[in-house]
A and B are shown apart, each in its own frame.
Chain A
Amino acid sequence: NAGVTQTPKFRILKIGQSMTLQCTQDMNHNYMYWYRQDPGMGLKLIYYSVGAGITDKGEVPNGYNVSRSTTEDFPLRLELAAPSQTSVYFCASSYSRQGSQETQYFGPGTRLLVL
C-alpha cells in the first residue's frame, strides 16, 4: 500500500513552459486535493475533486487546471509557468464521506522552481 505518490520530486521550469504534476493514490479514496506551500506560509488549496469527473476550485486556482478521469489519479496542470508558481505542491486524498471529520493523507510533495 503506497498511499499517495507524486512525481516528479523536483522540477525546474522556464517561464512560459507547461508541465503536469502527477498524483496517484491506492487507497480507493474518492476525495483528492492539491495544495501549494510557500515558504513560511501554510498550505493553500488549489483544486479538489470529490470523485471521477468532478472537480472544483479552491482558494488559489488561477494558473492551474485539473482533471479527474479515474479514482486513482488527479494530475495538476500548469499551462504557462510564472515565477509566482515557484512552490512546493502537495497532493492529498481522503475517504469519501461528506463532512468535516475525515483525515487527509498527503503525498511527499513536488518542489517546483520557475526561472
Chain B
Amino acid sequence: GDSVTQMEGPVTLSEEAFLTINCTYTATGYPSLFWYVQYPGEGLQLLLKATKADDKGSNKGFEATYRKETTSFHLEKGSVQVSDSAVYFCALSDQGYSTLTFGKGTMLLVSP
C-alpha cells in the first residue's frame, strides 16, 4: 500500500537558518503530495501541495518540488523564524476519495 517516510525529529535550528525536511513516498498510482503544518494545540492546516511530477508548491517562504524519479517531496525554507516552530507532516493522496496517507511528522524547533 501507499506509505510516506519523513526524517525523524526534532529538528533544532537557529533563527534565519536554512531548513530541509526530507520526505519520500511509495505509491502505486500517481498521487498528489502535500505538506501540512500543526502548530501547538491546533489542528493541521495545509502548507503547500503539488499534484504532478516537477510541480513546485510554495507558501509562506516554504517550497517543495514533486520529484517522481526519486519519489521525494522535500520541504525547504531559506530562512526560518521562531514562529515556524511546529510539527510538519508530509502526506499523499491517491486517486480515490482524497483520503490522505501521512508520514509520522517532524517537529521543528527554532530558537532566537
Interface residues of A (CB under 8 A from B): 4, 31, 33, 40-45, 48, 50, 56, 58, 90, 92, 94, 98-109
Contacts and interface: CB of A to CB of B under 8 A. Distances in A.
Contacts of A105: 46
Nearest to B29: A100
Contacts of A4: 43
A43 B43 contact: no
B95 interface: yes
Given A90-B43, A99-B98, 14 more contacts: A4-B43, A40-B104, A40-B105, A42-B91, A42-B102, A42-B104, A43-B100, A43-B102, A45-B100, A98-B97, A103-B34, A106-B36, A106-B44, A106-B45
Contact of B44 (A41, A90, A99, A101): A90
Nearest to A56: B97
B98 A104 contact: yes
A23 B104 CA distance: 24
B43 A102 contact: no
Nearest to B41: A108
A104 B45 CA distance: 8
A100 B4 contact: no
A109 B97 contact: no
A105 B98 CA distance: 12
A12 B46 CA distance: 30
A99 B97 CA distance: 6
A41 B104 contact: yes
B65 interface: no
B36 to A, nearest CB: 8
A101 B51 contact: yes
A11 B87 CA distance: 23
A109 B43 contact: yes
B43 A42 contact: no
In the complex, the 6 A-B pairs of residues with the closest C-beta atoms, listed nearest first: A42-B102, A106-B43, A100-B93, A100-B32, A106-B44, A102-B98
